[in-house]
Each structure stands twice: as C-alpha cells, then as structure tokens.
C-alpha cells in the first residue's frame, strides 16, 4: 500500500480530464465531480448519465447511454452495487479495449467486474469518501491489471481530491471503505452526540452543534498539520484528576470496542455485497 498524496490541489494549469462517463452521479460521484471542478478540472469531454436527468454542474448530463456519444476512456460506475446486475449487460456494449472500467461500488470485487466487462482495457476499484467534494477526501485505489500509464493518470486525477492510497490487494481497499468511505457518517454521528450532550447541559442547540463541529474539525486539523500522536494530544488536554480525565474514564473503556464493532459490521456488509454481486450469473445468485 502506498500513499501518494496528503495535500489537496494541483499546481499550475487546469487538468483536462480524460473522457469519462459517470454512470450514476449522485452523492458520491457528484462529490468527486465537485472536488475536481473546484480544482479547475476540465470535463468538456465527459458526460453524466442519470435516469432523472438532474443536471450535474459542469458536466453534460443525459438520461440514457444512447445519448452519451462515443465510448469513453473511463467508464465510472457510480450507481448502487445492487443495480450492477441490471445495468452491466447494457454498459458492456459500450466498453472497448481502450475503456477502463472504474468502479466506486462498495464491495463489488475486481473478479466480478472483469467477468462482466471482459473487453475492458482494465478494471479499477476506487473507494472514495464524500469529503472529496472539498478536496479533503480519502480515496483507496486498486487494480490488478491497469498498466503504468493508466495508474499514473488515475493517481494524478484522484490526488486532486485529497489523500490517495494505492492498495496492493482488495482486502486493504475493503478496509479503507469500511473506515474512510463510511467514516464521514460515523464522525457526523459523533459530532451530533457531542452537540446533544452540550445541549443537555444547557447550551443553545445550534451553538452546541457549532462548538462540537469546530472541536472535531480543530482537533483533526491540529493532528494533521502538526503530525502529533493522538496520545500527545490527549496528554496536552488531560491533567491528573481533572475534568478531561473524568470524561475519558467513561469513554476510553468503551470506545475502541464500539468502533471496532462498527467497522466489523460495515466490513461484513461489504462482504455480503461482494457475494451478491459475485453470484450474478450463478443459479443461486439468480434465485
């Protein structure tokens, strides 16, 4: 596994994106497009395909594959994993030996994608998170068959969106999905819980939420910019027998197990989605 970027933003002239079909461009693919566009990436050769036809700012948006034009260099699968069974046969008709299939579908494995898109130049799995919209995302990349030119192209594209981790196996990618892909939802719940606790002690609800949000943001920023160990940050806050020590005495025994169970549950669900997608052509899967 190698980390190829920790900061956001390319220097110099705008990047011309390869021709990409965003098949499905909802919360996640939309966040990626937003991040790229805010960095000045030029999507003049790309198109979003979504049944609702809801326009994606900066992208030509169409409702059907037939309206999309010439087959793309990158076919980005941005719909829900459960739709793969229905959509893959139609999509495969547009895949040539010069098309890389790039999937953000949680769980669905390279082997399954390769079986469904046998003509593809390469199959790449990407596991991003929604903070890509502000170019502070975390993205895992994995491919078994991308050549160096494609890897470089994808690395350059995704590093614009934040931290990019090139995985050496799919298990790493799955873990990044469970920790970072889902992570913004966990962190949002933590912020909310902190805010509710402040509210319960008498703070105005909106003020309490702002305080909780800024506390999490400030701590993350402090850790990221100083490189301080978490223990070091705790040491800087906790004084012996003080208020933080009293709070941590409650939190510390329970938090690691709770978070561990949370990530385990997400990983189990990822494995279920992978199994369901794997079974696409088998008699059991069709049942």
Ligand X SMILES: NC(=O)c1ccc[n+]([C@@H]2O[C@H](COP(=O)([O-])OP(=O)(O)OC[C@H]3O[C@@H](n4cnc5c(N)ncnc54)[C@H](OP(=O)(O)O)[C@@H]3O)[C@@H](O)[C@H]2O)c1
CB of 180 to ligand X, least distance (A): 9
Three-state secondary structure call for residue 42: strand
Report if residue 208 touches ligand X, rule: CB under 6 A: no
Q: Which of 21, 36, 43, 79 binds ligand X (CB under 6 A)?
A: 79
Query: CB nearest ligand X: which residue?
Result: 26
Whole-angstrom CA distances from 101 to 129, 239, 255, 283 are 19, 53, 39, 26
**Chosen residue from 72, 137, 181, 198 binding ligand X by CB under 6 A:** 181
Closer residue to ligand X (CB): 51 or 118: 51
Interaction of residue 141 with ligand X, rule CB under 6 A: no
Which one among 16, 66, 80, 247 touches ligand X, defined by CB under 6 A?
Answer: 80
* Pairing mode, strands 20-23 and 74-77: parallel
Nearest-angstrom CA–CA distance, 62 and 247: 53
Considering only 111-119, 125-133, 157-165, 277-285, which stretch makes contact with ligand X by CB under 6 A?
A: 125-133
Q: Give the Cα separation of 94 and 67 in Å (integer).
A: 12
The β-bridge partners of 21 are 47, 75
Q: Show Cβ contacts of residue 80 under 8 Å, excluding neighbours closer than 6 positions.
A: 24, 105
| 3-state SS assignment for residue 119 | coil
CB 138 within 8 A of CB 128: yes
Quote the crossing angle between the two packed helices 230-237 and 243-278, to the nearest 10°. Answer: 150
Cβ 25 to ligand X shortest distance, Å: 5
If binding is defined by CB under 6 A, does position 52 make contact with ligand X? yes
Binding part of the chain for ligand X, among 19-27, 154-162, 198-206, 209-217 by CB under 6 A, reads 19-27
* Residue 128 is a binding residue for ligand X (CB under 6 A): yes
Dihedral Cα 228, 157, 271, 95, nearest 10 deg: -170
Is the separation of the CB atoms in 46 and 20 below 8 Å?
yes
CB nearer to ligand X: give 232 or 272.
272
Q: Of 49 and 167, which CB lies nearer to ligand X in the complex structure?
A: 49
Pick one of 17, 20, 23, 113: the residue that binds ligand X (CB under 6 A). Answer: 23
Residue from 17, 20, 28, 141 touching ligand X (CB under 6 A): that is 28
Q: Which residues bind ligand X (CB under 6 A)?
A: 23-29, 49-52, 54, 78-81, 83, 87, 104-106, 127-130, 181
């Amino acid at each position: 596994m190698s980390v190829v970027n920790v900061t956001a933003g390319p220097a110099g002239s705008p990047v011309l994106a390869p021709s990409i079909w965003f098949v499905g461009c909802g919360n996640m693919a939309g966040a990626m497009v937003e991040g790229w566009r805010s960095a000045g990436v030029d999507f003049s050769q790309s198109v979003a395909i979504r049944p609702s036809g809801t326009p994606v700012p900066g992208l030509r948006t169409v409702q059907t594959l037939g309206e999309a034009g010439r087959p793309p260099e990158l076919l980005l699968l941005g719909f829900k994993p459960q739709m793969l069974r229905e959509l893959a046969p139609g999509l495969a008709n547009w895949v040539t030996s010069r098309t890389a299939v790039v999937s953000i579908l949680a769980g669905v494995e390279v082997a399954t994608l390769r079986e469904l898109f046998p003509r593809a130049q390469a199959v790449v799995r990407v596991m991003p998170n929604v903070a890509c919209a502000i170019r502070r995302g975390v993205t895992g990349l994995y491919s078994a068959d991308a050549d160096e030119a494609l890897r470089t192209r994808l690395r350059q594209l995704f590093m614009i969106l934040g931290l990019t981790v090139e995985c050496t196996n799919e298990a790493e990618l799955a873990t990044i999905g469970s920790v970072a892909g889902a992570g913004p939802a966990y962190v949002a719940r933590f912020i909310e819980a902190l805010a509710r606790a402040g509210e319960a002690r008498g703070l105005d609800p909106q003020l309490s939420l702002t305080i909780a949000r800024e506390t999490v943001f400030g701590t993350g920023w402090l850790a990221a910019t100083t490189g301080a160990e978490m223990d070091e940050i705790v040491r800087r806050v906790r004084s012996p027998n003080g208020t933080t020590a009293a709070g941590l005495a409650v939190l510390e025994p329970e938090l690691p197990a709770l978070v561990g169970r949370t990530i385990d549950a997400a990983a189990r669900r990822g494995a279920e989605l992978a199994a369901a997608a794997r079974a696409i052509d088998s008699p059991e899967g069709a049942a």
